[in-house]
């Protein structure tokens, strides 16, 4: 008999059989058995203990902007960190922020404070935790450039303080992607600059995104990592794949590097489309494309 998770975390932070399509920017994904939305580190530790005691698997995510959840959903406990844990503190150009802070919010706050270095992240629709785990980047910047340290817990609830160098941050990669740690907060080092100049750069990046990216349709951003020597968008265009569609999943007609959900896409449609693209790129040009988007859930 399972103990009720609502004994250890407020009932309004728990949802049963919750469609993950409501929690991913792709608007795709079957139900999570138990979705918990903790608002403090203590609640996170309690959930970890609950999962250990009840022998339930755990999946942790931030704002769901880089995940594709399969149609059968996710068994066990799913912990969403992009809704609670929102503290931001700034001292001597060091920025401390909790994992659930939205990158967009953090960009706005540091720009107002006249702190430069995070402009590249304007328009990345994830949480700080997700950005650290993915080493998110754009416009010649990445989290690695500004991150100094990360506070995390392992699945036993033991706390760790990592220096950024220990995380082996690479192109959209870090050791945190192995899923052994939960990021609680991060410290960033930024440089003083004129707030107006920072905001102008951010406006420029936002404009470039809205000119080039299909921001009007649900997606998880770039589907594939950039293969050496190529940009994925032009590559897929060259292969005649722009606009190619399987079910509700389409290679965006605006930017072929994005797969978009045109309405009722299932995860299976996206996966079939990814496979078709990979086979075409391999068959025609001998190029291996690797998804940047993380695939989760029951097969």
Ligand X SMILES: Cc1cc2nc3c(=O)[nH]c(=O)nc-3n(C[C@H](O)[C@H](O)[C@H](O)COP(=O)(O)OP(=O)(O)OC[C@H]3O[C@@H](n4cnc5c(N)ncnc54)[C@H](O)[C@@H]3O)c2cc1C
Site residues (vs ligand X, CB under 6 A): 25, 60-67, 81-82, 99, 124-127, 129-131, 133-134, 136-138, 176-177, 182-183, 213, 215, 219-221, 294
Name the residue nearer to ligand X (CB basis): 114 or 248: 248
Closest contact distance (angstroms) between CB of 92 and ligand X is 25
Name the residue nearer to ligand X (CB basis): 114 or 254: 254
Phi, psi of 192 (to 5 degrees): -70, 140
Closest contact distance (angstroms) between CB of 283 and ligand X is 28
- Structure token digits, residue 196: 């107006």
Name the residue nearer to ligand X (CB basis): 8 or 295: 295
Q: DSSP string covering the chain, please? A: -PPPGGGTS-GGGEEEEEEGGGSSTT----EEEEEE---SHHHHHHHHHHHHHHT--EEEESSSSSEEE-TT-EEEEEEE-SSS---EEEETTEEEEETTSBHHHHHHHHHHTTEES-GGGTT--SBHHHHHHHT-EETTEEGGGTEEEEEEEETT--EEEEEGGGG--BTTB-GGGGSSEEEEEEEEE-EE--HHHHHHHHHHHHHHHHHHS-TTS-EEEESBPPPTT--HHHHHHHTT-TT-EETTEEE-SS-TTEEEE-SS--HHHHHHHHHHHHHHHHHHH-----BSSEEES--
Among candidate residues 125, 130, 126, 123, the one with its CA nearest the CA of residue 201: 123
Name the residue nearer to ligand X (CB basis): 60 or 115: 60
Closest contact distance (angstroms) between CB of 132 and ligand X is 7
Name the residue nearer to ligand X (CB basis): 132 or 190: 132
Q: Which position among 21, 65, 222, 252 bears the catalytic label? A: 222
Verify whether residue 185 is a known catalytic residue: no
Closest contact distance (angstroms) between CB of 96 and ligand X is 15
Verify whether residue 237 is a known catalytic residue: no
Closest contact distance (angstroms) between CB of 284 and ligand X is 27
Q: Which position among 98, 122, 142, 292 bears the catalytic label? A: 292
Verify whether residue 142 is a known catalytic residue: no
| Residues with catalytic roles | 172, 222, 292
């Amino acid at each position: 008999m399972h103990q009720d998770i609502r004994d250890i975390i407020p009932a309004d932070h728990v949802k049963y059989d919750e469609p993950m399509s409501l929690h991913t920017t792709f608007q795709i994904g079957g139900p999570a058995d138990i979705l918990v939305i903790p608002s403090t580190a203590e609640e996170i530790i309690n959930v970890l203990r609950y999962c250990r005691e009840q022998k339930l698997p755990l999946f942790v995510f931030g704002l769901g902007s880089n995940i594709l959840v399969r149609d059968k959903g996710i068994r066990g406990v799913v912990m969403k960190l992009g809704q609670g844990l929102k503290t931001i503190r700034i001292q001597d150009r060091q920025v401390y922020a909790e994992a659930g802070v939205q990158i967009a919010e953090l960009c706005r706050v540091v720009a107002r404070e006249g702190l430069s270095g995070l402009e590249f992240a304007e328009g990345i629709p994830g949480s700080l935790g997700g950005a650290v785990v993915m080493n998110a980047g754009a416009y010649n910047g990445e989290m690695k450039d500004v991150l100094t340290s990360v506070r995390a817990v392992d699945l036993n609830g033991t706390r760790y303080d990592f220096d950024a160098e220990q995380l082996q941050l690479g192109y959209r990669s870090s050791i945190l992607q192995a899923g052994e740690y939960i990021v609680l907060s991060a410290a960033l080092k930024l440089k003083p600059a004129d707030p107006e100049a920072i905001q102008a750069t951010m406006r420029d990046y936002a404009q470039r995104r809205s000119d080039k990216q299909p921001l009007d349709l649900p997606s998880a951003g770039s589907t594939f990592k950039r293969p050496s020597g190529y940009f994925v968008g032009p590559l897929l265009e060259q292969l005649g794949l722009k606009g190619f569609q399987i079910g509700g999943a389409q290679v965006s007609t605006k930017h072929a590097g994005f797969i978009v959900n045109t309405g009722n896409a299932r995860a299976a449609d996206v996966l079939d489309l990814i496979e078709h693209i990979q086979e075409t790129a391999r068959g025609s040009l001998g190029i291996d494309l690797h998804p940047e988007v993380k695939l989760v859930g029951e097969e």
